[in-house]
Amino acid sequence: MLRGCLPVYRREMLILKRRFKRQLAGQAVSPLLYIITFGYAMGGDLHFDGTSYLDFLVPGLIAMASMTQAFAISTDINVARFYWHIFDEFQAAPIDNSGYVAGEVMAGISRAMISILIIIGLGTLFGVRLHYSLSFWLAVLLNSFLFASLAVAMAMLVKSHADQSLLTSFIITPMAFLGGTFFPLDRLPDWMQALLGFLPLTHASTAIRAAALGKPVQITSILLLGATAVAMFIMAFYSVNKAKD
Amino acid sequence: MITIRNLQKRYGETVALKGINLEVSKGELFAYLGPNGAGKSTTIRILTGLTKMSGGSAELAGFDIESDAMNAKLQFGVVHQYVNLDQELTVLENLDLHGQLFSMRKRQRSEKIAVLLDYVEMADRAKTLVKDLSGGLKRRVTIARALLHEPTILFLDEPTVGLDAAIRRRIWALIKKIQQQGTTIFLTTHHIEEAEFLAQRVAFLDEGRIVALDTPENLMQEVGSWAIDQLAGSEMTTTYFKNRQEADRFQVTEGFTLRRVNLEDVFLSLTEKKVLSC
């Protein structure tokens, strides 16, 4: 059980270390642009329920980054699988599927955490003061775990690198914009709110925002994120064998 | 050491392997030859756990590759025809990660890596990024990596593909050295002279079947001892002879080459038989 988890994780961390400066700069660009454009310039005078738009936006960006950066591990896995054939090295080694998945998921979570720390830093620079409580970090961790597991599963199931890009375009990008990141979902029609209630990111952004603003976190959101994360991990576990010809 | 029974592989309607039966002895250097698409790499991919078999069974050092996959994987090292090293990591990091995947202790890894880098004459390149190495050096790293966990079987899938003649010869010497230390080697190659130089036994694979299996000497004897190549128009024809006297008596009209029969002739004669029987 979990045999090979640490070497798989260490490999991703070694690569991350090599790319650290580039990665750091790359991960800071989008949130900085969102904060300046939407939070500072456009939403400067906006308030939702007595909260400034910038304070509303930053937790949303944290939820979004915990999803996109954790899911980004799928690109690295794909490049390693289809281009460099590194996946063959793992498959020929005496390691468990659970170990491989856990190592990659931990790498996805680590990437997400770096991104979240960048956003917290940028938010602080723009005067955003939030509550980084245990429930905040729990929601962030579950969301990263969920999307890193989904990333591994997708990376195993796709047949080419192009397929992976399509998945990002059709699943991750719409979720990033419609999962309660940039605006309160109660501004949308009821049917659309109901539909968006099925998205894990909706629950993540609700829970992360509530915790960050010092409000009570709905336990149902946390439970849903936890249950979905476990389901995704199991799916990733079974997907590893599908990657064989 | 390697036992393959009725190994089959299908990709949809395409049958890649049509029931391979093979025994490779401990310490043997066995060459598995055939044209492109014959099923050589598919066999290695199945034996090393990268591809699922459609039928049959295989054992490595007595461990079934499906029901006892973990133990079977501990028995072999593999060098693929492509370089599957982490380009952004150093030689040392690549080797060390491999050792970790095989649950080797830190001290054991360090000692073994030092020995192997010396063995492949790359001790001074330990901290070089793989992307900065030449093709030949990368290949040597993959060989060192495959040997790190002290496997009893080494699979070499086209280990010299894309390398120039001088580097190829160095890799051959390395392969010989590995085999002399008791490792069983299963080699696939396009370079027939590579098999002739290295292998103790050779199997020719064609369209998913083994069409010939014997020592290189026996296989060559079946074709003859001497050969004359003649160019007639744009077509090259080869005639085989049992001995030099027969070859000397052969009447040739244009430029020709008299030479000893090699494994390539065996390969060509097998292929021609197949063509004639079509």
Domains and CATH numbers, chain B: 2-218 (3.40.50.300), 222-277 (no CATH)
**pTM of the predicted model, to two decimals?**
0.88
Q: Which member of A7, A19, A92 has the closest CB to residue B78? A: A92
CB nearest A88 (choices: B11, B50, B74)? B50
CA distance A18 to B56: 45
d(CA B11, CA A241): 16
* In contact, B189 and B158? CB cutoff 8 Å: yes
Note the pLDDT tens digit of each residue in A138-158. 999 999 999 999 999 999 998
Q: Which tens digits make up the pLDDT trace of A53-69?
A: 999 999 999 999 999 99
> What pLDDT is recorded for position B272?
64
> Do A62 and A210 meet the contact criterion of CB atoms below 8 Å apart?
no
Do the Cβ atoms of B227 and B237 come closer than 8 Å?
no
Query: How many residues appear in chain A?
Result: 245
pLDDT of residue A194: 92
Distance in angstroms between the alpha carbons of the first and the last residue of chain A: 24
**Cβ neighbours of B166 (radius 10 Å):** 8
- The yes-or-no verdict on residue A94 having pLDDT over 60 is yes
Q: What is the pLDDT of residue A38?
A: 86
Residue A33, judged by CB atoms within 10 A of its CB (0-12, 13-18, 19+), counts as exposed
Residue B209, classed as helix, strand or coil, is: strand
Mean pLDDT, 10 residues at a time, chain B of 278 residues: 95 92 95 88 94 94 94 95 93 97 96 91 94 92 92 92 80 88 91 87 91 90 86 80 82 76 85 47
B window 76-95, beta carbon within 8 A of A: 76, 78, 80, 82, 84-89, 93
Helix and strand numbers (H, E) in chain A are: 12, 2
Q: Find the CB nearest B51 among A6, A14, A245.
A: A245
The residue among B61, B47, B43, B48 whose CA lies nearest residue B1 is B61
Report pLDDT for B257.
Answer: 84
Q: Of all helices (H) and strands (E), which one includes residue B27?
A: none
The angle that helices B106-119 and B91-101 make with each other, rounded to 10 degrees, is 130
Distance (Å, whole) CA B77 – CA B150: 8
- Residues A212 and B178: their CA atoms lie apart, in Å, by 61
For testing contact with chain B, the best of A89, A95, A104, A244 (most B CBs within 10 A): A89
What is the sign of the dihedral through the CA atoms of B228, B232, B237 and B242? negative
In this prediction, residue B275 carries a pLDDT of 40
SS3 B84: coil
| ipTM, 2 dp | 0.88
Helices (H), B76-151: 91-101, 106-119, 135-147
Cβ-Cβ contacts under 8 Å, B45 against chain A: 245
pLDDT value of position B277: 35
Contacts of A98 (CB under 8 A, 6+ apart): A1, A2, A3, A5, A237
Structure tokens, A110 = 């680590």
Range list of H helices, chain A: 5-18, 20-34, 53-71, 73-78, 86-91, 97-125, 134-157, 161-167, 173-178, 190-196, 200-212, 219-242
Closest C-alpha among A4, A194, A229 to residue A109: A229
